[in-house]
Amino acid sequence: ARVGYGFITWSLARNPGLLDVALAQQPATVMLSFGDLRPFAERIRLAGVPLTAQVQNLAQVGHALDAGAEIIVAQGGEAGGHGMSVRSTFTLVPDVVDLVAQRSPDTLVVAAGGVADGRGLAAALALGADGAVVGTRLWASREALVSPRAHQRAIRAGGDDTVRTRAYDVVRRLDWPAEYNARALGNAFLDTWHGNEEELSSSLSEVVTTYEKAVAAEDFETAAILVGEAVGRVREIRPAADIVADMTDEAARILNR
């Protein structure tokens, strides 16, 4: 299948040869997130591959357009995994749509963060987006390479059970830039360490051993489940095709009322 590739941009900068591996397969797109995309944009353009840029604020939109991005993903703080917590999807998307319309009308804008059903997709389109990036809801699909134990915890969870935190980056020894954190499902580990990252850093050798054992045992009272606020819309694990079909059908019914 012809698929797209996504890179954490600041990490790609440490191993830039990975981009050549992806471009050699002529992917549908390359998405760059969380860092300066400009050093890689020309290589992607010369390969004839559309560049997708994920952004969390308007300054990043300007950089992405300057770099020739053909698709802008406007990611609000509701999203699972890494991002920024400064803007919500509902207000960020129309701001991005208006800026892109002024600067580069042919560039597509899609919404990310909190879109998990037809209502969310309809809302994204009503805000001016051309579509949506869906994370958490497709994470909870049969095709996703996710532990069944993690899926079962997510089914019982709601958006109030998630928290934006740096604790998992610390324990996994991932050197994320300070402006980014990750939304995860709350558990005993976060009850202990969220907000206590300095103490966690000082106890790291001991805690890392415990954490790695928990990951191996699929013990999600400690191990991370990186999902967004839309986890409250997940009540069963379904085939991805069925999720997408129902989402688009529901959005069409709403918009055609």
* pLDDT tens series, the chain, 257 aa: 789 999 999 999 999 999 999 999 999 999 999 999 999 999 999 999 999 999 999 999 999 999 999 999 999 999 999 999 889 999 999 999 999 999 999 999 999 999 999 999 999 999 999 999 999 999 999 999 999 999 999 999 999 999 999 999 999 999 999 899 999 999 999 999 999 999 999 999 899 999 999 999 999 999 999 999 999 999 999 999 999 999 999 999 999 99
User: Side by side, which strands form the sheet with 71-75?
Assistant: 5-8, 30-33, 51-55, 71-75, 108-112, 131-133
| pTM for the full predicted model | 0.93
